[in-house]
């Protein structure tokens, strides 16, 4: 489990680097777009499209980090009412349900990438399979981090419910 966690530490560092780069690129592209639109009264389709695709990519990468840190959307008030062992059990169950959903999403996102290869984006002129790749990549990352969350919760449950 330690080797798997170290592997995910490296993956998370790569994700964070990609997030930093993509946020910077998106910021520059959006500033460029605003200046063109409001100063020169001329807008480009590619800049808006690129910003949109970068944002979707960022959401998929950040979701994997959010799952690993257990900071996704949940009703904390109800969860904190539970005793630590029941809280761990509810986390395992909800994460398992999430993994099942992610497996379905992975299958359908791969089909989407395949069909997107035949279409070109309007502004950038790239095959739509390129922007659609964020779905299977993000889904695989979320599944990998979910597996780690499940194993850590089970390990802590076996130790008697002592949370780290």
Q: Would you say the C-alpha torsion 140, 145, 146, 148 has a positive or negative sign? A: positive
pLDDT for res 161? 60
Q: How far apart are the first and last CA of the chain?
A: 16
Helix (H, G, I), strand (E, B) or coil at 39: coil
pLDDT for res 145? 95
Question: Per residue in 140-158, pLDDT tens?
Answer: 999 999 999 999 888 888 8
Average pLDDT for 158-163: 68
Residues 153 and 85: beta-carbon distance below 8 Å: no
Centre a 10 Å sphere on the Cβ of residue 53 and count the other Cβ atoms it contains. 21
pTM of the model: 0.85
pLDDT for res 76? 67
At residue 163, does pLDDT exceed 60?
Answer: no
Helix (H, G, I), strand (E, B) or coil at 106: helix
Domain boundaries, the chain: 2-158
Average pLDDT for 35-60: 91
pLDDT for res 12? 95
Question: Per residue in 74-105, pLDDT tens?
Answer: 666 677 787 878 888 888 898 999 999 999 99
pLDDT for res 73? 63
Angle (nearest 5°) at CA 61 between 145 and 14: 80
């Amino acid at each position: 489990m330690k080797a798997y966690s170290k592997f995910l530490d490296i993956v998370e560092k790569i994700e964070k680097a990609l997030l930093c780069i993509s946020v910077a690129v998106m910021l520059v592209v959006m500033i460029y777009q605003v200046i063109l639109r409001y100063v020169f009264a001329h807008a480009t389709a590619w800049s808006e499209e690129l910003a949109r695709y970068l944002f979707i990519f960022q959401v998929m990468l950040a979701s994997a980090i959010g799952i690993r840190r257990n900071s996704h959307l949940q009703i904390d008030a109800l969860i904190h009412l539970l005793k630590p062992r029941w809280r761990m059990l509810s986390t395992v169950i909800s994460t398992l349900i999430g993994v099942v959903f992610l497996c379905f999403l992975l299958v359908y996102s791969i089909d989407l990438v395949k069909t997107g290869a035949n279409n070109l984006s309007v502004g950038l002129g790239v095959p739509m399979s390129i922007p659609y790749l964020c779905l299977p990549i993000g889904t695989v990352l979320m599944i990998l981090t979910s597996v780690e969350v499940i194993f850590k919760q089970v390990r802590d449950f076996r130790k008697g419910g002592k949370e780290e």
